Structure 1
């Protein structure tokens, strides 16, 4: 990590501290300390189920692309991808190179082949999000909440832009080459020792990967069975994430209807993606708290629920994924030494 990254993370933490101060330090800490452990653990369980659903969805794409890899390795790659995403500002695209690197190492498959499954996975993830966003928009209209309507409009526009860019990358060979080249540079920054002495052959490998990528992506997009199964897991994933937030509110003694949670979760997605802070740190907390406030929830409850939810969805996966990335970095280094 560069000094700039630490500065951005520090800025995000300062925003969170200011948010706690604004909501009332004593009241916020009291709510956290008195949170119902059973409901809190149910929220953690929902996050675990969401991660497993994501892993199972990606496994379907990998199996269809004939990438032979264990379920355990897919789960590890997913968690490391979450860790990398949470360190990446903006659209949180840092997880894709990390996921691709881990799977290619564990499966001995080509970069393009694995990258195609990741792109298909990312594009399909947008479909249920758009569906949920439209439902959230309907509820926001009925409640006449201008802030939520405005943010949901931005969220929808950003999501459609992501789909368009992803499709352009998938169908345009030159653009795909540029993207894979940038991804390779990112991987080189994460694992620099792996690229020593191979710079000259790197461009040739990337060109080969582009051909693998296009062939695999087109095969995946034409299989209705694969699309049906993966769509099911996508809907399950987002369902678990909504239940996670629901149980968080229950843990602090406040029952919030699922459709209201849906409005806030969908509205906050796009703003997290365009945040200049890694993983939307600080920005996501502030935005979600403001959106809950628009539903006339007490500010201390809104901030506390947001902090607990982010602890489960951001901090825990980041810690676990960071630990796994260190472990695999050491393991891959030992394997290369043996060779």
Structure 2
């Protein structure tokens, strides 16, 4: 992790602490400590199911692309990707190179093949998000909440931009080549021993990967069975995430309708993506708390629920993914020493 990213995460933690102080330290801490463990466990299960749904969705793309890899390796790559995403400011694209590297090294596939499955996976994930955002927009209109309407509009615009950029990269060889070059340079800095003696052949390999990427991506996009199965997992993933927040509120003794959670979750996505802080640390907590407040929820309840939800959805996966990243890095170093 870069020193700058560490400092930015520190800034985000300060924002979270300030948020807790604003909501009332005693009230917030008491609500968190007295939370019903049964509902917290259910929220944790929902997060686990969401992660598994993501893993199974990606596995379908990988299988269709004839990438032979174990499910546990896909799960490991997903968690490492989450870790990298949570350390990346902005659109959180740091997870894609990490996922691609792990799967390529644990299968007999090429970067081009795996990259195609990742792009298809990312593009498809936007479909249910847009669907849920439109539903949330409809509820926000009926409630006439200006803050929610404004943020949801921003979310929709940001998501559409992401889809357009992803499609441009997928269909434009020059853009894809430049992106793969940047990914290769990033991986080279992290694992320099893997590139010793092959620097002269990297460009040739990248060009081959681009051809394989486009061929694989087109095949994936034309398969209706693959699209149907992956869309099912995409919808399941987001339903589990909504239920996670629902159980969080239940754990602190507040019943919040699922459609209100939908509005807040969908509205908060875009601001997390365009945040200058890694993983939206601090910004996401502040925005979600403000959105819950717009629903006339007490500030201590709003902040407590947001902090608990982010602990389960952000901090725990980041810690697990970070541990796996260290494990894989150590294992790779040992293999290099043996060679």
1:204 Cα deviation after fit: 1.3
Report the equivalent of 1:307.
307
Q: Cα deviation per residue 1:56-96 (whole Å; 9 max; x = unaligned)?
A: 00000000000000000000000000000000000000000
- TM-score normalised to structure 2 length: 0.99
Residue 333 of structure 1 and its aligned partner are, at CA, apart by: 1.9
* Paired residues for 1:43-122 under 5 Å: 43-122=43-122
**Structure 2 match to 1:254:** 254
Structure 2, unmatched stretches of 5+, are none
User: Over residues 96-128 of structure 1, what are the superposed CA-to-partner deviations in whole Å (9 max), with x where a residue is unaligned?
Assistant: 000000000000210010000000000000000
2:36 maps to 1:36 = yes
Q: Which structure 1 segments of 5+ residues have no match?
A: none
Measured in 1, the distance between the counterparts of 2:191 and 2:28 equals 40
Is this contact kept in 1: 2:193–2:336, CA < 8 A? no
- Distance in 1 between the 2:248 and 2:334 partners? 42
1:148 Cα offset (Å): 0.2
Q: Name 1:169's counterpart in structure 2.
A: 169
| Farther off after superposition, 217-226 or 180-189 | 180-189
CA distance in 2, matches of 1:200, 1:304: 54
2:197 is aligned with 1:201: no
Distance in 1 (CA, whole Å) between partners of 2:182 and 2:91 is: 15
Q: Residue by residue, what CA displacement relative to the aligned partner does 1:121-154 show, whole Å, maximum 9, x if unpaired? A: 0000000000000000000000000000000000
Q: C-alpha deviations, 1:33-52, integer Å up to 9, x for none?
A: 00000000000000000000
- Measure the CA separation in 1 of the matches of 2:199 and 2:22: 52
CA distance in 1, matches of 2:176, 2:213: 9
CA–CA separation in structure 2 for the residues paired with 1:194 and 1:276: 31
CA distance in 2 between counterparts of 1:99 and 1:293 reads 37
Q: Offset at 1:186?
A: 2.0
Counterpart of 2:106 in 1: which secondary structure? helix
Q: How many residues were matched structurally? A: 339
Which stretch shifts more, 93-102 or 196-205? 196-205
Q: Secondary structure at the match of 1:107?
A: coil
CA distance in 2, matches of 1:195, 1:9: 31
Displacement of 1:157 after TM fit? 0.3
Distance 1:210 1:259 in 2: 42
Tell me the CA shift for residue 194 of structure 1: 2.2
Deviation at 1:202, TM superposition (A): 1.4
Name the residue aligned to 1:324. Answer: 324
- 1:208 is displaced (CA, Å) by 1.0
Query: Equivalent residue of 1:84, what SS?
Result: helix
The runs of 4+ residues in structure 1 deviating greater than 3 Å are: none
Question: Cα RMSD over matched residues?
Answer: 0.8
CA contact (8 A) 2:23 2:300 kept: yes
